[in-house]
Amino acid sequence: MSGSVAKLAFGGKIRKSALGKSTTCESQLSCFRCFATEPCRTLAMAQRVVHRVTGVLAPGCVPLFLTDGLKDYATALLTYFGQWRQPARHQEKGPMPKPRWMPLPVLLYAQVVKSYRRRVLVGVKHRVVFGTQRAIVQVLATCGWTINTSFVERLHLESALGAAASV
């Protein structure tokens, strides 16, 4: 079963939902995994994943998102965690710049992008999409984590072993 996983860690209150147990994370950081089990990785799939995640967050809670390199997650995250902003004017004359849909300042989102050559892993890059590297590292450091895909790889292993056991 191929799928996509969005790992997210967040501090704040979590509502009880079908995705997991209810927890209060006032001062500690929690990890939450949301699974999309669709074989087709599209913008619609990314939007469904983000929609399910936002459904269990407490009002005003904006988590740290860590995903693989699928670019559609950024668009999906902007749908829920974006706002209209008026860019600063760079010229004295001329029309004002048009308002832009921008991420909330508190939104933190990073991607782990792996490079393969002949089915062999040759490189891993961490790309900060929204927020700063320093802010992301600071949030992850409270749990002793780093930006990686270990949860994603473990999920794929568990689903592969589960599929093999059911045969």
Give pLDDT tens digits along the chain (167 positions).
333 334 444 433 333 333 443 333 333 334 444 444 445 788 998 898 889 888 888 888 888 888 888 899 999 999 999 999 999 888 889 889 999 999 999 999 999 888 899 989 899 899 999 999 999 988 888 878 877 766 656 655 665 666 555 55
What pLDDT score does 12 carry?
36
Identify each DSSP E strand in the chain by its residue range: 4-14, 23-36, 64-68, 82-85, 100-103, 108-117, 120-130
What pLDDT score does 56 carry?
87
Please give the Cα distance from 165 to 163 (Å, whole number): 5
What pLDDT score does 143 carry?
78
Beta-strand relationship, 82-85 and 108-117: unpaired
* Burial letters 30-51, b for 16+ CB under 10 A, else e: bebbbebeeeebeeebbbebbe
Q: Rounded to the nearest 10 degrees, what angle do helices 72-80 and 43-54 cross at? A: 40
